[in-house]
Structure 1
Amino acid sequence: MRSRPWIRPLLWSLVGLALLALLAWALRPAPVPVSVARVSLAPFVDSVTEEGRTRLRDTWNVSVPIAGYLQRVTLEVGDEVERGQTLFRLEPTPAPALDPRARQQAEDNLQAAEARLRATQANLETARAERRFAEAEYARYRTLHQRNLVSTADLDQRQSQRDRQRAIENAAASSVEAARFEVESARAVLAVASGQRGDEEHPELEVRAPISGTVLTRYRCCEGSVAAGEPILELGDLADLEVQVDLLSMDAVRVRPDMAVRLSGWGGEAALDGRVRRIEPTGFTRVSALGVDEQRVPVIIDFDGEAEPAALGLGSGFRVDAEFLVWQADAVVQLPTSALFRADGQWVVFRVEEGRARQAPVTLGRRSGLVTQLLDGLEVGDLVITHPGERVAEGVRVRIDG
């Protein structure tokens, strides 16, 4: 049989090629594991969500109109009051206690006042005696004048003396009254030696409720001296509850009056309806938890619906989550926001086609949290890669996890 020397090299060549092919297949890159989501057609809500606080539209601080002594305030926080109901009472401020030196001075003043009273009483008796003598003289001269025994000038002189003595008596009587009042005043100073209130009744001033509502704050409960204008109680009507939400200024410009708001996170199972009543024209700066200065704008929301907030247990200063419904539709093409990234100045996504990642530019509309409205670039049902990492690139083979 004739030998064929070229068969053996051919076989070795085929074996080498097979080994190289097997090595290339073993060393080829493995598919990149990715998570995907489908472009869907579903209801879409463009909203702004922020934490807010309930508050009362109007509150009334009831303060002390004049300085005095406050009796104990029996009303407590949460008590209901009616318009015209007595809230608290005021008494005159007790006189201050006297130290030994002041007491000795007060006793000396009393003795001096009593001495002046005795002196004025003596002067009054003298003036009365002189007035009686002047009246008698005038009567006697009038009788003599009727008999033509004295002249008219003498009679007029006696009449003038009588009138002058009457005036002197009146002045002396007034001096006695003034001295008596001084004595009473000096005795009143000595009547209070410890600064405590006496057992006798004092005139009271009753401060009444200006509205029917609820006691929100009690600034003072115990009796004691108070200054004019010191606040005692804060009243409010829980039927006038509203919500204040401090929005970022970039979100506040998207909100309009009468916009619908969904209130949740207040403790109940169902969300409450609300309406934007007012957007404050002035913002303020607030430091965030990360230490960043934020420009905030207060937005006021009214409760909208038949449910009474107070009946649900809400009060002033309660926390709620407010979702402002900026725009909503029932059927909107949308995709996860996590699938989007920027490339060459435009928004793009990685679409999965035949097991490979293909880059596709997209045109976006509104964005709402985890989803974004898709205007153009993909079709409903397309698979897009969410959270693409550095290993995902154009044409790379991918493996869908989950």
Structure 2
Amino acid sequence: MRWRRPGLLLALSMVAPLALAGCNRTPEEPAPQIRPVRTIVTEQRSTGDSVSLTGHVEAKNEASYGFRIGGRLVERLVNVGDHVAPGQVLARLDPANEQNELRSAHAAVTAAQSQLGLARNDYQRQRQLHDRGFAARAVYERAEQALKAAESGLEDAQARLKLAQDRLDFTELRADAAGTVTARRAEPGEVVGAGQPIVQVARKDGRDAVFDVPAQLLQQTASDPTVIVSLASDPAVTAKGRVREVAPQADPVTRTFAVRVGLIDPPEAMRLGTTVIGRVSLDSGPVIEIPASALTRADGEPAVWVVDPDKKTVSLRRIEVLRFTPSSVEVYGGLQADELVVTAGVQALHPGQEVRLLGTQP
């Protein structure tokens, strides 16, 4: 046994390095996987879609009438729906105070006229005496100043009379144009302030159709579109219109913009307050339609996988979507015509991955 032990140790020392070398061998990497995908070739087309919105008819110009002075409302002569003519009395205030002021102003004018007559006679007498040398110059100058003061006093009294007459006229509220009463803001017996609205009148100088339009739709519509407006209750009654005004700020609740469409020769059936439907063509420009299955996301934004036709690799590209449908997506930015877009197998792809085209649809 003694002579066999050194040989055994020598054999073990030769086998151990070979075993360790076998443990450190690096396994070979598997060949990259080529995934089969289906694709389409993108094509551009122009859209001719139209959109319909529901709105209502309003007057082109509405005026809220109020008194120029305050007082107690004793009479309102019109109600909602009444037609008014220019100069027609709409309401009246209690005129007692203004009538008293007018009588006082008349009396002041009469007194000022009498004072002026006395001052004029005295001035003429003093001037004759002064010219003959029988009156001192100081007396003559005092008479002249008294005449000027009397003339100014008469002018002041006449101005106050005009103001009193105007205030009496202001107790009657009159229409300045033809129209239709759309609202009443005060009732007889109320004490109203100057400028407080009493009635609201829609003037007969045009009608507008008013719609609440989303911001995205405003961007897709032409700058000066022709809007076809029809009655919701009778689509056969129609009128053409042009966008006259777009609200500068969105509604804080609905986030839509109020758009006023001026109606061109509207029919009589389109009365104020009636519900109408407006139709307008969209101007979205050229778009590319792809299947909904091609859509994925990149950093929370819509994206698609695009195939490099030479390298047969894919890259992720963000797109701008015009609208979604259950089966397709209309793209207006991010894609060009004649590009290969993956439509099936998008969930298992990563950037730079090599793919094999199963079939390309036109």
Q: By the TM > 0.5 criterion, same fold?
A: no
TM-score, normalising length from structure 1?
0.41
Q: Which has the larger radius of gyration?
A: 1
